[in-house]
Structure 1
Amino acid sequence: MGRKISFLSYSQASERVSKMGITSKADYLARYKECPGLPREPAHLYGEEYLGWDDYCGKGRGYYTFEEGRDAVIKMGIKSLSQYRVRCKEDSMLPSFPRKFYGGEYKGFYAFSGQENLKYASMIEASKAVVLLGCKNVVEYRVQCHQDPLLPSSPSSFYADEWKGWPFFLNMESILKTTVDKYATYDEFVSILSDLGIATSFEYNARYKEHPKLPSQPHVIYMKDWAGWREVFSANSGLYSTWQEAKVMVSQCRFTTKAEYLGGCSFDGRLPRHPDRKYKDFPGWVTFLLPEKYCCLDDVRCAVKIVGVKSSVSYKEVRKKYPLIPSHPERMFADEWVDWCELCDIPDFYSYESLQQLVRSHGCFIIKDYVRLISKLKDPKIPSSPEEVYPQWRSWYEFLEKPEPYTLVYIRGCGKGWVASVREFLKNQRSGQEKESNICRFIRGYIEPYDLGSSPQEFLTRKATDVRPFKELMSNQANRKAGRSLLLSVNSYLNEVLRNELTIEDDETGELVRVDGASNPFSTFEYKSDGSHGPSETTKPALAFQYVDAMKKWMISDTATTFSDLIVLHQFDADYFEVDGSLIDDTDPDCVFKKQGDKYLLWFPGYWMLAYTLISIPARARQVAYNDSGEFDEYIADIENDKIVWVKNKNPLAKCKSRQAFIQRCDDNAWGMHFTSNKTSYLGDGYDVPWAPETLVYWMIRFRKWQEKYNSIKRSKPWTECTRTNLNEGQLKRKGANCFLFRAFKEEQPPAYTARLSERLAAALYFTQPRNLSLATFVDGRSHGSLSHYESKYTPHCMRVSLITAYVMEFGLPIEVVMKLAGHASVVMSIYYVKVGAAFLRRRMDEGEKLALRDQAYAAQEMLEQNRLDELTHDLIANSELALQVLRAGNVGSTLVRDYGLCPYAAARCEDGGALVGGTNIWHPVPAGYLGIQNCVRCRHFITGPIFLGGLLSLWNEISLRLNFLSEHYFDFEKEIENWLEQIKVLDELEYDMEQIGGFFDPKERSRIELEIRKLQSEKEGVAKKMDMFLCDIQAITKQINECKALIAEQTSKDEAQVQLVVHDQNEIKIEIEQTSLFQQLNEVCINASIFQSASADFATPRRSQMIDRMALINKIRPAMCSLSEKEQLAVGNQVTKFLLQRLKTWGRVDQLIDGHILLEDLGDDERISKEELDELLTSKAPRLLDLIEVLV
C-alpha cells in the first residue's frame, strides 16, 4: 500500500477549523496540531484557493457578488487597496482578497471601488509599457514613468493585490541577460556551482565574485526557472533524474492535488519541490499524480479525486484520456465496491419522490428551470444529473410531471411490438414527424389502454374490434383538422401493413389474396373538417427591422475584421471548448482562447455565425445549418488583400466540378448563395439565390477557414449518417453527402441548434433593446456569461418572418424576388410570411401602368361626355359628398377633367373651396399651392379615384422635387446665418478682451452683421412658408392616394353605386415612399411629363440636362444637352437615361456613372458603353423626338 502523507483539502480543512472554534491566526498556530492534516501555513499550501483567514475559519461564507461588493465598497467610501485591507473587516460579506475571490470579474481595485481608472488596468499591461520605455531600474522608472500618463508613480501600491516585486515589473531577467555577461541558462548556473563546490547560499554570497559570470542576484537573472536555493543545491545531489522515477514514489503517497504534493514532498529528499520546473518534459500534474498501478479500490478512489470525476458518465469520458484507469472498477474490485456515489464522494441525494416534490414546489416545468433551481439553492443533495442517480428514472417529462411527447421512444407498454413496424413505415414517408406523432397517439391512446394487440398484425386480424374509443380519441383532438390528420395517418399505416405483411400471392394464379380475417376497421371512416380556415398569415411575431439590424451590428460591428474583434461575443462560457494546447495559435487573430489552470479553452464561433446568418437572410434555421462549406469544391471563395475572390481550391480532397458551397459566384461575377435543402423540395438538390449580403459573404469565408484549421474533417458527411434531421431514409439517401459549414465542434454534422439559437438571439436582443422596450429578459442576479439566463418571445423562426416582412414592406421587393430569397414554391407562401394586414404589395408602378392609368382618365372623360355616370361614380372618391351629388346631377358641360381628378364646377368655385369661416356657413377660398389658386387637390369640390392614381402620383413626385430644391435653398440660408453668428461670437469675445484691457471696440461691424442676419432670416422664412404650402399639398395628395388604395381593396362589384372607404386587412395595395438619388427623382418627373399632360418638367429638365452634360465632360465627350431646346432636352434626356438603364441594369450603377464615381472605361464587358455610342446619342444634329410609347418600352 505504501506510505500515505496527505493534507486535508481546502474545504475539508476550513470545515474542520470552523468546528474547532478557531477564530484567529494566533489561535490557529497554537492548536492546528490537534487535527492531523492541517498545514501550518494554509496560505502557502492552498495557494489560489486560500481567500483569507475569515474564509478559512468559516466566519464569512456568504460573500457579496461582485456587483454587490462593488456597491458596498463605494458606499463605504474606500478609495485605495490599503484602506480596503483595513476596513473590509467592517463588513463580513466583503472578501479579504477580492482579486482571488472574484477571479475574472475583478478588473483592478479602481473598477471595484467605482473610480475611473486612468492607469493601466493590470500590472502585466503596465509591465509591458515599462519595457517599451526601457527602464532598467527603480530610479530610471521614477524619472521616466511620467512619459506614459497611464503608468502609476507607485506601482507597488497601485497594483498591491498582484504585485510580484520590482524585478518582475521591470522584466529585469531579460535586461540583465542582455547587459551583463552571465551564464545564459539556469542549468549552466547550477552546473558551475557544483563544479566550484558551493553548497549553501551563505557560501555563494561570500564566493560568487570569484567567478565573473556568476550573478549577484541569481533569483532575478533566472526568474522563470528559479525555485529556491534548495533546488539549486539539490539539483546534483540525489534528486530523481526523470519525472517517471519521481512518479513511482509519488503514486505510493496518493497525493491528489498539487497543494498536497507541495506540503508532503519533503519526506523524500529526492523529490523536487517544483517538478514542473525541474523536468523539461513534465507531463502535467494530473499524469504525474495518477497511480501507476491499480491494486485496490483506494487507488481508483485516488485517481477519481485527481481527475475530478463526479459521476459514472464523467468517469467513462475521463477514461478516454487516461486509459490506464480501470474501465469497470465495480467488477475489478467487487469485494470493496459499494456504489458510484461512495467512489466519487457524492453526497446522499434526496429520494426520487422527495426531489420530485421539491421541484414541483418551486415551479419547475422545464430542464432549464431545474438547472436554475440548483444554482439558486446550492443544495448538495440535489443531483445535477438525476438521470444518472435514480434507478427508477424514466424521463424528464415524467420527472417534471409533463406529458411525454408522442414519439416511438416513449412507447413502453404492449405497443413496443409496434415500434419496429412503425419505424419501417416512416422510412419512406413525407411529413414523417407528424405521422409518427399521430401513430404514437393512436398506440398510446387506443391500443395500449384497451390491450388491442402487441403487434399491428395481431390488431388487424382480430375477429371484432370496438372502434368507439377511437372515434372518441379523434373527437378529443385540439380541432377537427387534427382529428382528420390522425385518421389519415393511422389508415395510411394500417393499409401499408395489410399490403406488405397480410397479403399473399397465389402460386397458381398470381392473384393477391389477403390473409383470412385481416382488415382495417377504420377503412370506411370519414372525418370531415369543420370548414374553418387557417390563419392567412404566420402566427409568429415579426420584429421591426431596426431591431434586427441592431442585433447584427452588435454581433459584428462595422469595423470588425477578425474573430478577435468580436469582443462582445467572447463573454459567454458556452462557446468555449477544452482543446489540446498544440491546437492554439496565438498569432492567429481568429484564434480566441483563454487559459484556466493547465487547460486551454478555445472559442468556437459556429453558433454565433449561425445566428448572424439567420438575421442576415430570410432562410430557415434548418436550411442554413445544413449548408455546405465548399471545402471539397473545385473553386471556392477566399479573401486576398481584404478583397473577396474566387480561386482554385488547394485542398487535396477537392473534387472536380463540385459546387456545393453556401457562398457561390454567380454568372455576373456577383456573390450568391446555394442551399442544400428546402422545406418545399426535399427531392431536389437545393436551390440557388443570385444574391448574398457582402458582409455575410466575408464572415462565412472567415468561418470556413476557421473550421478548416481548428475543426477540420477528412471526408464529406453522408446524410444517411446524420442523426438530427427530420428526413426519412429515402430522402437522406437522395441528399448524398456534404461538408457541413455549421458542423458542431469535433463533429461532422450540425448540432441541435434550436435552443442554442434561441439563447443567442435572446442575448443579442437583450443587449440591444431600447431602455423602455422589453424585447428580451435576463434572470436577475445571474451571471451574464451564461446564455441560459436570457429569454425572448422572438424565436429563430421569427427572424425569418421579420426579414421577409422587411423585404416586402420596407424595402419594397417584389413578391417574386422574395420567393427566390426565401426558397418558397409559390407567391402565396411568400405572402403568408408577410406579417402585415396587406396581402398584395407593389413598390411602384412602372411606365406601362402609368400609360394605362392615363388612358383610364381619357376613358372617364368619354363616359362623362356620353352621360354614362352610373358606370363611373362607384370608382370615385370626393372631399365632400356634395361634389359627388353635383356630378351625379349630370351637368356634363360643367365638369372639368384633369390627369389627377375632376372638378364638377368647371373651376368656377375656387373662391369657396376652402374650409368654413368660424361657425358660419361661409367658406374660405381654396388655399393656394403648387397649382396656384386653382389648387384642386386641397379643394372641397375635388373628385378623384383610382383611375386618376397615375396623375396623383405624378403630381406628388413633381411637388416633392420642388421641395427638394427649396430645402437646399433653406439649408443654404441656415448655413450662411450660422457663419455670420460665428463671426458675431468672435466679435463678442474681442469686445470682452478690449474691455478687460481698457481698449475701444467699434460695434459697427457687428451691427452690419446683425442686419445681414435679420435679412437672411426674413428670406429663410419666405422659403419656409413656400415649403409649408407644398408640404400641405403633398399631405392632401397622400390622403387621396390612400383613399384610392382603400377603394381598390374594398370593391366587390363593378355595379356598386356608392363610394367605398373601409380598408379590408386581407386585400390591400401598397404604395411606398422611397428615398432615391436626385438624378432618379429628376428622371421620374421628366418621364411623367412625357405621359401626363398636366405634369411639368420645367424644373427637372434643365437640372437633369446639366448632370448628363457633366457626365459627358468627365468622360471626355463634348457636352450637347445645353445646345438643345427644353422639349428636345426632355426627349433626348429620356432616351439617354433609358439607354443607360438598359446597359447598366440598376439605378445604382447609373447614379455612379452620372456622379462620376465610375467612368465609361471602368464598366465591365456586359455593361460596356463606348464613347462613340454616347456621343452619337447626344450630338445628333436633328435629335429625333421619341414617341411616348417608344420611350416607355
Structure 2
Amino acid sequence: MVKNAGVDSGLPSSIGQENRVVKYETLEEASVAARILGITGWKSYNSLYKLDKKLPAAPHQKYRKAWRGWAEFLRVEKAVEKYESLSEASLAAIALGINSSTKYRKDYQKDQRLPSCPELTYSQEWISWPNFFGKKKRAAKYKELAEAAVAARRLRIMTFTEYGKRYSEDPKLPKYPETVYKKEWRGYYDFLDVEPPIKSYSTLAEASCAARALGFKSSLDYKNGRHQDPRLPKNPARTYKSKWENWYVFLGSSVLNNKYPSIEEAGAAARKLGVFSSFEYAARYKEDPRLPATPNKQYEGNWIDFQRFLLPDKYGSLGDVKYAIKVLKIKNSREYRDVYKDYPPLPAHPERVFASEWIDWYELCDVVRHYDYSQASKVAIENGIANQAAYINFIKETGDVRLPRTPDEVYKEVWINWHVFLGKEEPFTIKYIREPYCEWAESIRSFMKKARGGESKESYLCRFVRQYVQKYELGYSPEAFLTAQGVSLKPFKELLEQQASDVIKRGILVAVNEFLNDVLRKKLGGCRS
C-alpha cells in the first residue's frame, strides 16, 4: 500500500478502516456537509445522512447548544403558518376570486397561508365547499309550469335565446324548463306567450320579387328595410343557398353598393393591395373603395374561405407563386409539396416552370438563413445567456430571427449540449465525460454501483478526470494514468486548493483514493507502494 502522505505528497492512498468515525466538530461543518448532499428537511436528512459518515444521526442533540432548528441548519425558509380559523381562510380564498373546489386546488398557493386541504385542516368547523365560499343555498324552483311561465312573462322574455341569458334574474326559474316540466311542456312560444315567427318565402324568386317591390338597391337597404315584409329572410344567401348567385342579381341592380360585382374581381383588387390574410384585409380594404368590408357576405354564394379569395386564378410568374406561399403560410419545400395539389393551379415544380426567375426555396419561401453554429454560440455567450429558457427569451426580446429556436436540431451535426453551446461549465457527471476518455467514464460507472456517497462522490471523481487528467492529458484510461511515468501532482494540489471548502477538498481526496485503489485491485493486481 502507498503511505498516506496527504495532499503534500500528491494522490492519497487507501485511508484504512476505522472502527468509529469522528463526527463533525461544529454545527456549521455538519450544516455544510448536509447541504452538499442536497438535504432540505429532517425527512431527507434521515434518509441521506449516512452517505457522509461524519454526519451525526441526531444533529439537534449533538449540537444542542448551537441548535436553532432544522430550517436554520439546512438554510431553508421556515414553513408559513396557516390561517387559524375556517372563517379567515374562507375570506382569503374569496378575496382571490376562488369559488369552487377545483379552482381552490389550482390557486390556493397564491396565498401561502391557505392550506391545501381546508376540509381536513378545519375539520371541526367544516360544513361544505359552497359554505366555505360563502354561497347561499339554492332557491327552490317553481313547482308548476304555470307559475314559471307567469314569472318568465313578467320579465318580458320573448325568445328561447333571451331566456337562456336572463332566467337567472328570478332564482326560482329553472335553466331548462322543458326538462323540469316535461309532461306539461308545449314549447317556448307557448311558455313565453309569444307568436311563432312567420315562415320565409319558399323560393328565391318569390323573395327576390318582394325585395325588388320594396325598392331595395343594395344589401344595406335590404338589411335596414326587410322588416317591412316579415317573410323576407335575414340572410337570403343562406336560406336559398342552392340557387343564390349574388346580391345584384337578387335585387336586379346593375351595380351593387358600388362594390366589385364578382368575387374574382374583388380578389384581384385585394392582391393588388398586397393583402395576405383576413387581418390585413380588415385593416386595408378601405384603400380601395370598391372592396367590401365583409367579402364573405357580399359574395356569399361563391364564398369558400379567405385563402381561396386571395389566391390568384392563374400563375404567370414566380411572384404569383410567392404570393400564394405567403397566403398559405408555407415555410419550406416539403410543406409546398404537401399542399399545392389542394390549391390548383399552383405548379408542382415552380423551379422548372419559372426556371429563368428561380433562385432557391429559401428565397421563394422567405426562409431566414440561420447563423452557423460558432456564430450563434458566440452571440449567446457574449450576451450572457445562462440556459435554454433564457436563450428563447433573448430571441423573443431581440427579434433576432437568425438565431434558431432549436439549435440542437439545426446544428445536430456539430451539437454537443446546451452547456457547451452557451459557454457554460458542464455538470460534473459521468454523462459529460466524452471520447477519448470513455474508459474513465465506464470505470467510474462500475465503481459507483457499489460505492457509497451517491451523486457527491460521482461529482468529485468527474471533477478529478476533467479538471486534472483530461486537462493535462494524463491518460485515456485509469490504467494508463496509474502506469504512466513522471506524472506531475502539482496541478492536482492546485485543483484542491481552488475548491470552496475543506469539505469538498476532503471529498475529492477520499473519492479519488477509493476509486484508484479499486482500479489497482481489479485491473493491476494490487496497490502501488
State TM-score, norm by structure 2.
0.36
For the pair shown, which has the larger CA radius of gyration, 1 or 2? 1
Normalized per residue, which structure has more strand?
Answer: 1
Higher relative contact order (CA 8 A, sep 6+): 2
State TM-score, norm by structure 1.
0.19
